[in-house]
C-alpha cells in the first residue's frame, strides 16, 4: 500500500511525501520520467502529481506518460500537477495574467468528495501564473478563487482530483484533511503505516537479507547510525558488533553514552576504540582545514578497518555493514534535477577492499521519522534528538592546530553551551548550537591578575536542511549566562563572542 509522488521539480514533492506519511500511508517520490509500465510494476494504491516551477507552456515542460491515466489509479494533481492533468485529459490551461502568490481565499462551488467538511471560504496557499480555465470532460469544478476559475475540480467516478493550491503547506487551512480524504476515502487506503509497522517491516527485511551472517556497524554517536544499529539489534542482535572509534574529537560524554546504551540496554558486542593519541599525533602541526579533514577521515577508516580485520571481515567475520543512509540522500542521488549536495568526509566512507554488503534500514525514511522510530526502539532522548555533528568532530571547530589541550577546552565549552541551550528549551528548535575555539589568545583580567587565554565563539543557527541557515537570535540573558559560565567553569577561556553570520555567506561550521 503505497502512494507515488511524481516529482515535477518543486521543493514541494518531499513535503507532499511527508504529509502522506503523516496520514500513515507510505509514499515514494518518483521522477516525472516514470513510465506507465514502471508505475504498474510498483503497484501503488494512488498517484499524486506534485507542483513544479515550470509552466505547461514551457518547452520543454515536464510531462507525464499519458498511459499512466489508463491504469485507472486514484490520482491527485497539485498546482503544476493539476494543470498538467487538466491539459492531458482535454481541458484548458491559460496564461490569464492573474497569477496568485501566497494566502488566497478559495470559494467552494457545489458538492465535492475532497472538500467535504470545508467551509464555503477557505484560505489556501497559492503559487501559480497560469490557471486552468476549462475543466476536462467528466470533471466538475468544486472551488474557485479570484485568479483561478478552477481552483479545484474532480471526476469522482474515475477518482481523479486536482487542486490549484498547495494542500501540503501549513498555510492551507484544511490541507492535511484534504490529503487524508484523498488517501483514506477516495483512494480507500487504510492508515496502517506507523512506527510499529516500519520497525516490523525493516526487522523482517534485515533478517531476510542477512540470514545468519555477521554484521558490523560503525556508530558515530549521531542519531542515524544509532537508529540503524538499533533496528539491526532488534532483527539480529546476536550477530551484530558495533564499533565506536573515539577520535578525541567527540562531544562530552558521547562515547560513554553510546557504549552504555548499546551494551547495557541492548546487550550488543561493542568495540570501543580509544584512538585519541593516534589522532592527535597525526594532526600535530596541521592547520589547513582540508588537510585536517583528510587526516581525520583517512585515519578513521584505518582504525575501523583494523577492527574489522581483527573480527575476521573478508573471512569468516562480518559480511554486512550497517549504514544510516536516509531517504533525502537516496532521492538526491537518484533524481536528475535535485540540488547538488556537498560531499563530506563522513564517518562511514569505508574501505572498498573489505567488500562489505550494505544494510541500510533507513533508506526510505526522513529524519523526523528516523527520530520517532528511534524513540520507539527505546533509544535515549539524548541520542535521538542530538543535533547534527560533523564527521571530523571538534577538529573543524578548532581554528588552527588541533591539540589535546584545545580539544579538551572546546569539549568542556561545548557542553556548557549545549547545557544552557537545553535549559532554555531551545535545543530541539535550533538546527545546531555549539562552541568554536579560534586558536588565538587574548588578554583579560581576573581578580588582580592578567590572563592570556582563548576566546570561545557561540555558534547557533536555525535551518531546515543545512543548505542555508540563519543565525539564531538567542535571548541576551541566555547569551550572558553562557558567557559567564564559560569564563567561570572552563579553564583556558577568558573571552566569549557570538557569531551573527548567516549561511550564506558564512558556513555553519568555522572550517
Ligand atoms: P557547513 O559548515 O558546510 O555545514 O555549513 C553544513 C552541515 O554539514 C555538517 N558538516 C559535516 N558533516 N562531515 C559531516 O559529516 C563533515 O566534514 C562536515 N562538515 C560540515 C555541519 O555540521 C552542518 O550540519
Q: Are residues 31 and 173 in the same domain?
A: yes
The C-alpha angle with vertex 79 and arms to 48 and 99, in degrees rounded to 5, equals 180
Question: Could you report the per-residue pLDDT of 378-410, keeping only the tens digit for each?
Answer: 999 999 999 999 999 999 999 999 999 999 999
| Residue nearest atom 21 in ligand 1 by C-alpha distance | 390
Choose one of 294, 328, 390 to mutate for the ligand 1 pocket test, by most ligand atoms within 8 angstroms of C-beta: 390
Of ligand 1's listed atoms, the one at least distance from the Cα of 347 is 15
| Residue nearest atom 4 in ligand 1 by C-alpha distance | 508
Question: Within a domain: residue 504?
Answer: no
Question: Could you report the per-residue pLDDT of 174-203, keeping only the tens digit for each?
Answer: 999 999 999 999 999 999 999 999 999 999
pLDDT confidence tier of residue 352, bands split at 50, 70 and 90: low
Mean pLDDT for the chain? 93
Residues 3, 393: Cα–Cα separation, whole Å: 39
Q: Are residues 175 and 217 in the same domain?
A: no
Q: Which of 72, 70, 62, 71 is nearest to 30 (CA)?
A: 62
Higher pLDDT residue, 37 or 171? 37
Residues 6+ apart with CB under 8 A from 43: none
Question: 422: domain CATH number?
Answer: 3.30.300.10
Q: Name the phi and psi angles at 44, rounded to 5.
A: -75, 165
Question: Could you report the per-residue pLDDT of 43-57, keeping only the tens digit for each?
Answer: 999 999 999 988 888
Beta strands 75-78 and 121-128: pairing type? unpaired
Residue 166 falls in the annotated catalytic set: yes
Domain final residue, candidates 140, 169, 186: 186
Domain final residue, candidates 166, 186, 206: 186
Residue 375 falls in the annotated catalytic set: no
pTM across the whole model: 0.90
Question: Within a domain: residue 503?
Answer: no
Residue 124 falls in the annotated catalytic set: no
Instruction: Name 359's bridge partners.
Output: 322
Ligand 1 mean position, distance from CA 292 (Å): 14
Question: Within a domain: residue 170?
Answer: yes
Q: Are residues 204 and 155 in the same domain?
A: no
- pLDDT (average), residues 119-127: 94
Q: Which of 181, 192, 182, 253 is nearest to 221 (CA)?
A: 253
Q: Are residues 24 and 138 in the same domain?
A: yes
Q: Are residues 367 and 224 in the same domain?
A: yes
| Residue nearest atom 20 in ligand 1 by C-alpha distance | 390
- pLDDT (average), residues 414-442: 97
Q: Are residues 421 and 293 in the same domain?
A: no
Residues 283, 263: Cα–Cα separation, whole Å: 31
Domain final residue, candidates 186, 215, 238: 186
Q: Are residues 166 and 121 in the same domain?
A: yes
Question: Within a domain: residue 262?
Answer: yes
Residues 6+ apart with CB under 8 A from 315: none
Of ligand 1's listed atoms, the one at least distance from the Cα of 389 is 22
**Number of domains, the chain:** 3
Domain span including residue 265: 195-384
Residues with CB under 6 A from ligand 1: 293, 344-346, 388, 390-392, 396, 432, 466, 503, 507-509
Q: Are residues 204 and 255 in the same domain?
A: yes
pLDDT at 464: 84
Res. 299: pLDDT tops 90: yes
pLDDT at 162: 98
pLDDT at 408: 98
Of the candidates 24, 79, 242, 303, the residue annotated as catalytic is 79
Amino acid at each position: 500500500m503505497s502512494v507515488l509522488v511524481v516529482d515535477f521539480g518543486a521543493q514541494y514533492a518531499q513535503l507532499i511525501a511527508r504529509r502522506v506519511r503523516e496520514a500513515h500511508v507510505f509514499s515514494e517520490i518518483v521522477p516525472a520520467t516514470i513510465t506507465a509500465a514502471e508505475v504498474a510494476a510498483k503497484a501503488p494504491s494512488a498517484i499524486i502529481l506534485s507542483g513544479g516551477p515550470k509552466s505547461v507552456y514551457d518547452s520543454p515542460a515536464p510531462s507525464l506518460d499519458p498511459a499512466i491515466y489508463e491504469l485507472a489509479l486514484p490520482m491527485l494533481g497539485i498546482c503544476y500537477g493539476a494543470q498538467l492533468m487538466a491539459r492531458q485529459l482535454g481541458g484548458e490551461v491559460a496564461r490569464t495574467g492573474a497569477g496568485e502568490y501566497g494566502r488566497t481565499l478559495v470559494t467552494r462551488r457545489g458538492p465535492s468528495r475532497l472538500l467535504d467538511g470545508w467551509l464555503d471560504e477557505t484560505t489556501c496557499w497559492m503559487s501559480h501564473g497560469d490557471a486552468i480555465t476549462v475543466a476536462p470532460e467528466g470533471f466538475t469544478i468544486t472551488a474557485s478563487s479570484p485568479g483561478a476559475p478552477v481552483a479545484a475540480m474532480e471526476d469522482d467516478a474515475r477518482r481523479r482530483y486536482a487542486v490549484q493550491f498547495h494542500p501540503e503547506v501549513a498555510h492551507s487551512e484544511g490541507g492535511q484533511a484534504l490529503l487524508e480524504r484523498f488517501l483514506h476515502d477516495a483512494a480507500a487506503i487504510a492508515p496502517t503505516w506507523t512506527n510499529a509497522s516500519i520497525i516490523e517491516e525493516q526487522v523482517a527485511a534485515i533478517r531476510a537479507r542477512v540470514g545468519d551472517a555477521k554484521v558490523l556497524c560503525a556508530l558515530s554517536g549521531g542519531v542515524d547510525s544509532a537508529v540503524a544499529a538499533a533496528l539491526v539489534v532488534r532483527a539480529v542482535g546476536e550477530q551484530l558488533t558495533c564499533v565506536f572509534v573515539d577520535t578525541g574529537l567527540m562531544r562530552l560524554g558521547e562515547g560513554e553514552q553510546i557504549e552504555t546504551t548499546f551494551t547495557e540496554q541492548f546487550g550488543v558486542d561493542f568495540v570501543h576504540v580509544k584512538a585519541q593519541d593516534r589522532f592527535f599525533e597525526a594532526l600535530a602541526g596541521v592547520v589547513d582545514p582540508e588537510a585536517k579533514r583528510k587526516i581525520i577521515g583517512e585515519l578513521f577508516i584505518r582504525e575501523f578497518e583494523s577492527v574489522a580485520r581483527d573480527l575476521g571481515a573478508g573471512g569468516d567475520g562480518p559480511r554486512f555493514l550497517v549504514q544510516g543512509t536516509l531517504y533525502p540522500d537516496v532521492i538526491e542521488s537518484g533524481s536528475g534535477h535535485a540540488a547538488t549536495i556537498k560531499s563530506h568526509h563522513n564517518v562511514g566512507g569505508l574501505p572498498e577492499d573489505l567488500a562489505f554488503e550494505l544494510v541500510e534500514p533507513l533508506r526510505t525514511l526522513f529524519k523526523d521519522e528516523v527520530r520517532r522510530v528511534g524513540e520507539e526502539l527505546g533509544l535515549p532522548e539524548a541520542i535521538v534528538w542530538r543535533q547534527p555533528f560533523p564527521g571530523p568532530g571538534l577538529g573543524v571547530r578548532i581554528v588552527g592546530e588541533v591539540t589535546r589541550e584545545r580539544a579538551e577546552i572546546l569539549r568542556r565549552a561545548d557542553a556548557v553551551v549545549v547545557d544552557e541551550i537545553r535549559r532554555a528549551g531551545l535545543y530541539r528548535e535550533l538546527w545546531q548550537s555549539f562552541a568554536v575555539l579560534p586558536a588565538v589568545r587574548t588578554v583579560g583580567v581576573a581578580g588582580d591578575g592578567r590572563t592570556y587565554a582563548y576566546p570561545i565563539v557561540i555558534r547557533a543557527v536555525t535551518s531546515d536542511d543545512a543548505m542555508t541557515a540563519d543565525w539564531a537570535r538567542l535571548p541576551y540573558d541566555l547569551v550572558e549566562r553562557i558567557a559567564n559560565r564559560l569564563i567561570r567553569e572552563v579553564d583556558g577561556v577568558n573571552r566569549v563572542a557570538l557569531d551573527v553570520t548567516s549561511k550564506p555567506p558564512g558556513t555553519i561550521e568555522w572550517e
